[in-house]
Amino acid sequence: MATFLEKWVEEIALLTKPDKIHWCDGSEKEARELIKIGIEKEKLNGNPVFHELNKSTYPDSYLHRSHPNDVARSENLTFVCHADKETAGPNNNWMDPKEAKAKMNTLYSGCMKGRTMYVLPYMMGHPDSPYAKACVQITDSTYVAVSMRIMTRLSNIVIKKIGNTDKFVKGIHSVGELDPARRFVMHFPDEGLVMSFGSGYGGNALLGKKCFSLRIASCLGLKEGWLAEHMIIMGIEDPKGKIIYVAAALPSACGKTNLAMMQPTIPGYKIWTLGDDIAWMNIGEDGRLYAINPEFGFFGVASGTSMNTNPNMMKTLKANKFYPTLYTNVGLDTDKNEPWWEGMSEAPKNMKDWQGKTYDGKEKAAHANSRFTVSINNCETLSKEFDSPKGVPISAIIFGGRRSSLLPLVYESKSWQHGVFSGSIMGSETTAAAIHASGVLRRDPMAMLPFCGYNMGDYFRHWLNIGKKMKNAPNIFFVNWFRVNEEGKFMWPGFGENIRVIKWIMERVIWKGEAVETPIGNVPTVKGFDTAGLKDVPASDMEKLFGVNIKEWGEELKSIEEHYKTFGSKMPAELKQEYEALLKEYQK
Ligand code: GTP
Ligand code: SPV
Ligand code: MN
């Protein structure tokens, strides 16, 4: 008797008509075979899917060039298909589920002819965790199959776990013709189903990541009383050996991976990495918030990563413990057969750019959203709590954004409700992680605007409710590494120096370190903030970095009001009151 899973796979095969069906077991041997197919047989845009990099300097590493029209998440082609539009909210594109399925089934019809269909059974979260979820993704791309082995716990053991039940999250993916006019990422939260067509890129195609672990999981969290967030998880160890855990939400390409793997400049401090992109957080029996990272790898921004900015990632990339490491849309040093991107080192003499063209120094060698895919197992700073089934207790939540002006380096919210307010008004200047104009301010509440699978008005309410259910709610902070001076240069050195901010946050959480009140929250005093050994930041800049002048907030307040209006009657009254209180301070 065929199981539910086998019948489902059969059904998709009847629709997509692959030449072959390959059930993946998740082994290294199999991953090597898939890479071989990607080098020798499978083509993308006329080129092999993988190119093997220098065996001695970058062992088990492969370059992948995606289609030039397929280099980032396509938010405008991403839909959340609830029964009604109101549930999806103004923050999502919506399509009627029946219509969406009909559209996808037409696209899928015969789309795998001449191709192999890979069936990928995987877990999001450690299999022993009560919060983990079993999933199965179907794909016709070796790049996606190999990436999923790095990013998730992919294993045929999951098939046993699923047994003859329908308790697994389903993902269907085909690269199709990589035609943006025939590209869709459709979510069906009620069915735990994602359908994706026409893209092979990251968040569009690795369906366990943003599609399931955020858009669908956020809907489960609303129903079941937990949070699925676009957050890193890290431990901070002080010189006395005390460790606290924090979760931090920064919008795409705004510094999560760098923060999660930071090498602190203050002696005696250590950062322990648990996750760099997604956190699932549940209230534990003791009333505290516990976080797990459902993922198993990093899909990190390559551009800007170097021994100066993120030495731990540079080491992780070469650790070569878990097969393989992938580089997508980076430059290729043709003399050394090594990957290269802007910010890594001096540009090599002879290079091909991310599209395979000869590099002439006029355009970038690596795409601004070029990425590496590497197992978290390779990370030297991996916390020993990474596999803990119940997760780690969170003492602080950090929100942040890319703001060139106005927002201080760090501030602390006055209460949970006030912290939810500060998350709800988060804004960030846009980056290359999604296809849209870069550098424009967009409100991105809790860094979840592109990832919340339901109406964000209801999401804010859910956050307020979670706060009421906790006994020891984490303090909520806001950080901004990206303030610039009159010359347009970053005022704060960032990266390893961010430990100074993290140290202040830890002190506020444990010992109540020094702070002054401002209308938006508490900021550090220059005296109470560790600047010992800090170079290149003049004292006058420190004052500016902590400065909050509410009289400059006129435009910001107007824009927040507009932002709140988009959620209409769904906007919780408590948050409107917080806004009114801030407005009053401005009008004083
Ligand atoms: P996603 O994977 O898209 O979710 O991005 P992310 O939030 O993990 O961002 P990541 O850490 O990869 O950083 C994105 C870009 O911001 C890189 O080019 C970094 O070099 C840069 N960046 C990260 N941290 C800092 C910082 O503290 N200061 C400055 N100036 N730039 C930073
Ligand atoms: C992001 O854009 O926030 C990412 C990359 O982490 S992707 O997997 O494409 O979503
Ligand atoms: Mn992300």
Question: 1 pLDDT band (50/70/90 cuts)?
Answer: confident
- Residues near ligand 3 ion, CB 5 Å cutoff: 252, 277
Q: In this predicted structure, what is the pLDDT of residue 481?
A: 97
Contacts of 458 (CB under 8 A, 6+ apart): 89, 222, 570
Structure confidence at residue 432 (pLDDT): 79
Cα maximum dimension of the chain: 74
Ligand 2 contact via 252 beta carbon (within 6 Å): yes
| Beta bridge partners of residue 245, listed in sequence order | 235, 394
Query: Is 333 contained in some domain?
Result: yes
Examine the domain organization and report whether 370 and 421 are in the same domain. no
Residue closest via CA to ligand 2's atom 3 equals 252
Angstrom CA distances, 244 to 158, 261, 411, stand at: 33, 15, 19
The atom number, within ligand 1, closest to the CA of 277 reads 4
Pairing label, strands 475-479, 227-229: unpaired
Confidence band for 448, pLDDT divided at 50, 70 and 90 = very high
With a 6 A CB cut-off, is 372 part of the ligand 1 pocket?
no
Beta strands at 116-124 and 133-139: parallel, antiparallel or unpaired: antiparallel
* Residue closest by Cα to atom 13 of ligand 1: 255
The protein residue with its alpha carbon nearest to ligand 1, atom 2, reads 300
Of 210, 225, 240, which residue sits at a domain end? 225
pLDDT at 98 over 80: yes
Which ligand neighbours the alpha carbon of 276 most closely? 1
Query: Within a domain: residue 437?
Result: yes
**Which CATH number does the domain housing residue 304 bear?**
2.170.8.10
CB 138 within 8 A of CB 118: yes
Give me the number of domains the chain comprises. Answer: 3
| Together in a domain, 139 and 275 | no
Is residue 443 in contact with ligand 2, taking CB distance under 6 Å? Answer: no
CA of 10 from ligand 1 middle (Å) equals 42
At residue 321 the predicted structure's pLDDT band, cuts being 50, 70 and 90, is: very high
Both tokens assigned to 402: 């890319």
Consecutive H or E run containing 215: none
Give yes or no: residues 108 and 211 share one domain.
yes
> Is residue 137 within 8 Å of residue 208, measured between CB atoms?
yes
Residue 67 lies in a domain: no
Ligand closest to Cα of 328 equals: 2
Instruction: Say whether both 242 and 359 belong to one domain.
Output: no
pLDDT band at 527 (very low <50, low <70, confident <90, very high): very high
- Tell how far the Cα of 368 is from the centroid of ligand 3, in angstroms: 15
Examine the domain organization and report whether 162 and 301 are in the same domain.
Answer: no
What's residue 512's pLDDT? 78
The reported pLDDT for the residue numbered 541 is 94
In this predicted structure, what is the pLDDT of residue 440? 86
pLDDT of residue 177: 97
263 lines ligand 1 (CB under 6 A): no
Say yes or no to pLDDT of 545 above 90. Answer: yes
Using most ligand atoms within 8 A of CB, pick from 77, 277, 303 the residue to mutate for ligand 2: 277
Determine whether the shortest distance from the Cβ of 277 to ligand 2 is under 6 A: yes
User: Is the same domain home to 399 and 345?
Assistant: no
59 part of a folded domain? no
Which residue's structure tokens are 């703001």?
403
**Domain co-membership, 167 together with 278:** no
pLDDT bin (cut points 50, 70, 90) of residue 407 is: very high
Q: Are residues 216 and 341 in the same domain?
A: no
Q: What does the block give as tokens for 467?
A: 């706060």
- For 116-139, what is the mean pLDDT? 98
What confidence score (pLDDT) does residue 222 get? Answer: 98
The pLDDT value recorded for residue 28 is 98
Q: For residue 203, report the distance from its CA to the centre of ligand 2, in Å.
A: 5
Say whether pLDDT at 206 is over 90: yes
Q: Specify the amino acid at residue 314.
A: M
CA distance 344 to 254: 18
Between the CA of 304 and the centroid of ligand 1 the distance, in Å, is: 8
The ligand whose atoms approach the alpha carbon of 250 most closely is: 1
Which among 391, 352, 33 has a CA at the least distance from the CA of 235? 391
Q: Mean pLDDT across the stretch 46-65?
A: 97
Do 341 and 311 lie in one domain? The reply is yes
- At 249-276, the pLDDT tens digits run 999 999 999 999 999 999 999 999 999 9
Read off φ and ψ for residue 68, nearest 5 degrees: -55, -20
- For residue 248 and ligand 1, the question of a CB distance below 6 A is answered with no
Ligand nearest to the CA of 450: 2
Residue 369 Cβ inside 6 Å of ligand 1? The answer reads no
Q: Please give the share of the chain, as a percent, with pLDDT higher than 70.
A: 100
Taking the centre of ligand 1 as the mean of its atom positions, its distance from the CA of residue 257, in whole angstroms, is 7
- The Cα angle at residue 434 between residues 572 and 440, in degrees rounded to 5: 70
pTM, whole model, 2 decimals? 0.98
Confidence band, pLDDT 50/70/90 cuts, at residue 439: confident
CA dist 544 → 406, 407, 486, 537, 540 (Å)? 10, 10, 12, 11, 6
51 lines ligand 2 (CB under 6 A): no
Instruction: Let me know if residue 326 belongs to a domain.
Output: yes
pLDDT given for residue 345 in this prediction = 97
* Residue nearest (by alpha carbon) to ligand 1 atom 10: 255
Residue where the block lists tokens 């431990």: 235
Of ligand 2's listed atoms, the one at least distance from the Cα of 371 is: 5
Consecutive H or E run containing 313: helix 311-319
Please identify, by atom number, the ligand 2 atom nearest to the C-alpha of residue 251.
Answer: 3
Q: Are 270 and 264 in contact (CB under 8 A)?
A: yes
Q: What is the pLDDT of residue 441?
A: 92
- Encode pLDDT of 140-194 as tens digits: 999 999 999 999 999 999 999 999 999 999 999 999 999 999 999 999 999 999 9
Give the distance (Å) from ligand 2 centre to CA of residue 73: 7
Residue 197 has pLDDT above 80, yes or no: yes
C-beta contacts of 511-517 below 8 A and 24+ residues apart = 515/412
Average pLDDT over every residue of 450-457: 98
pLDDT at 226: 98
In this prediction, residue 357 has a pLDDT band, given cuts at 50, 70 and 90, of very high
Q: Are 81 and 96 in contact (CB under 8 A)?
A: yes
- Please tell me if the CB atom of residue 433 comes closer than 6 angstroms to any atom of ligand 2: yes
- The answer to whether the beta carbons of residues 451 and 210 sit under 8 Å apart is yes
**Ligand 1 contacts CB of residue 309 (under 6 A):** yes
Of 526, 522, 431, 540, nearest to 485 by C-alpha is 540
User: Residues with catalytic annotation?
Assistant: 254
User: Any idea what the CATH number is for the domain that residue 190 is in?
Assistant: 3.40.449.10
Count other C-beta atoms under 10 Å from residue 284's C-beta. Answer: 15
DSSP-assigned letter for residue 573: H
Predicted confidence (pLDDT) at residue 436 exceeds the cutoff of 80:
no
The C-alpha atoms of residue 126 and residue 274 are separated, in whole angstroms, by 12
Handedness of CA 271, 272, 278, 281 (dihedral sign): negative
For residues 152 and 211, give the distance between their C-alpha atoms in angstroms, rounded to a whole number.
13
Looking at 323, 347, 378, the residue that finishes a domain is 378
pLDDT of residue 84: 97
Question: Is a pLDDT exceeding 80 seen at residue 301?
Answer: yes
Predicted pLDDT of residue 430: 85
61 is a domain residue: no
Which stretches does DSSP call E strand in 53-143? 61-64, 78-80, 116-124, 133-139
Supply the CATH number for residue 247's domain: 3.90.228.20
Q: Are residue 410 and residue 372 in the same domain, yes or no?
A: no
**Is residue 390 domain-resident?**
yes
Distance (angstroms) between ligand 1 centre and the Cα of 124 equals 24
Reply yes or no on whether the pLDDT at 347 is more than 90: yes
Question: Closest Cα to atom 8, ligand 2: which residue?
Answer: 203
Decide: 359 in ligand 2 pocket, CB within 6 A.
no
Nearest ligand 1 atom to alpha carbon 250: 7
* DSSP designation for 324: -
Ligand 1 contact, 412 CB (< 6 A): no
CA distance 182 to 300: 27
Q: 341-366 b/e with 16+ CB inside 10 Å = b?
A: bbebeeebeebbbbbeeebeeeeebb
Angle 34-36-41 (CA atoms, 0-180°, nearest 5)?
95
Between the CA of 254 and the centroid of ligand 1 the distance, in Å, is 4
Percent of the chain beyond pLDDT 90?
96
Helices first, then strands: H and E counts in the chain: 16, 31
User: Which residue segment(s) compose the domain that 528 sits in?
Assistant: 229-296+384-570
Interacting residues of 565 by C-beta distance below 8 A, sequence separation 6+: none
Closest residue by CA, ligand 1 atom 12: 301
256 CA to centre of ligand 1 in angstroms: 6
Domain boundary among 225, 256, 273: 225
Q: Is 326 in the pocket of ligand 1 (CB under 6 A)?
A: no
In a domain, 269, yes or no: yes
CA distance 413 to 531: 23
128-134 average pLDDT score:
98
Is the per-residue pLDDT at 435 higher than 80? no
Rounded to an integer, the average pLDDT of 279-298 is 98
**Ligand 1 site, residue 167, Cβ cutoff 6 A:** no
Report phi then psi at 13, rounded to 5. -65, -40
Is residue 27 over pLDDT 90?
yes
Angle of helix 456-469 versus helix 416-424 axis, rounded to 10:
160
Cα–ligand 1 centroid distance for 305 (angstroms): 9
Considering the domain architecture, whether residues 220 and 237 belong to the same structural domain is answered as no
> Is 90 exceeded by the pLDDT of residue 281?
yes
Question: pLDDT at position 88, please?
Answer: 98
Which residues make beta-bridge pairs with 118? 22, 139
470, 415: one domain: yes
> Which residue puts its alpha carbon closest to atom 10 of ligand 2?
203
Residues 6+ apart with CB under 8 A from 576: 564
**Is 378 a residue whose pLDDT tops 80?**
yes
Q: Hey, which of 209, 233, 252, 257 would you mutate to test ligand 1's pocket, going by the most ligand atoms within 8 Å of its Cβ?
A: 257
Residue 434: per-residue pLDDT: 79
